Amino acid sequence: MLVNTKELLVNAQKNKKAVGAFNCPSLEAIRATIKAGESLNCPIILQHAQSHDPIMEMEEMLPIYMYYAKRASVPVSVHLDHGSTFEKCIMAIRMGVSSIMYDASAKDFETNIEETKYITEIAHAAGVSVEAELGHVGSFASSDEGGGKDDEGIYTNPESAYEFVQRTGVDFLAISFGTTHGVYLTEPKLDIERVKTIKEKIGIPLVMHGGSGVSEEDYIKSIKNGISKINYYTYMNCAGGEGIHEYIKKNPNNMAFDKMSLYATDKMEEDVKRAMSIFDC
């Protein structure tokens, strides 16, 4: 069933759980995620990241997300992830998404507020909830970006987060506290106390970006202290690729793509189920 993302996250926040938000730029990823959620009876957020347009454009993917969301036996919301332009956000709203993320986190604080407030007013008028980001979640953990470096220019400041939420009216906020997008090159060192402080200050559900590769212990600590939405893609995607590699090794004389596709889907489902079982605590 298709539901509003804010409803999912408010309920998750109340019960100290998190909802997995899975980027699915392929039919295999969508099917793996839906099957995992239905198997575990867990709610799901299907996301299309604007950065994945070169793989499959948003206009192609969102109707497929809607199709699977509406016929799923568990609550499913459809979300635009890292929307970086007004045009893409408005297009997603018109296509019926449950929520959008407008990402102006790379811009200065006042510009981020001004632009986010504007798109939030439009989205709310259409019954669509809004995520924004404050701070900077890097691309890869390394010695000079992410992975625990306590740089106030990168990490989300609790006082700034409070002002940002009050002035923009967003429904949930992605914060920077030590996670990064992509494959971790070093073990992430998460500032859980920062999560707790921000949660106590602003009250709304918080979002972890760069959720792949975080330890089970850190997932649980983050969720207990305020994270209600966890973005997950890289490790699920790698599980699919590793599945194809495994299939080829086992079946060197049968290179049928449909067989590889099904094998990869099963491997992604296994990885998503593992993540969901942790997020549901």
Is pLDDT above 60 for 269?
Answer: yes
pLDDT at 138: 59
The per-residue pLDDT for 184 is 47
The total of structural domains in the chain comes to: 1
Q: What is the mean pLDDT of residues 220-228?
A: 97
Q: Which pLDDT tens digit goes with each residue over 125-152?
A: 999 999 999 987 754 443 344 444 445 5
Catalytic residue selected from 53, 81, 103, 144 = 81
Q: Which of 219, 214, 218, 212 is nearest to 234 (CA)?
A: 212
Would the pLDDT of 186 be above 90?
A: no
pTM for this model (two decimals): 0.91
Which domain CATH number covers 89? Answer: 3.20.20.70
Residues 6+ apart with CB under 8 A from 189: 147, 148, 178
Q: Does the pLDDT at position 224 exceed 60? A: yes
- Any catalytic annotation for residue 53? no
27: helix, coil or strand? helix
Full residue range of the structural domain in which residue 109 is found: 5-279
What SS3 class is residue 74?
A: coil
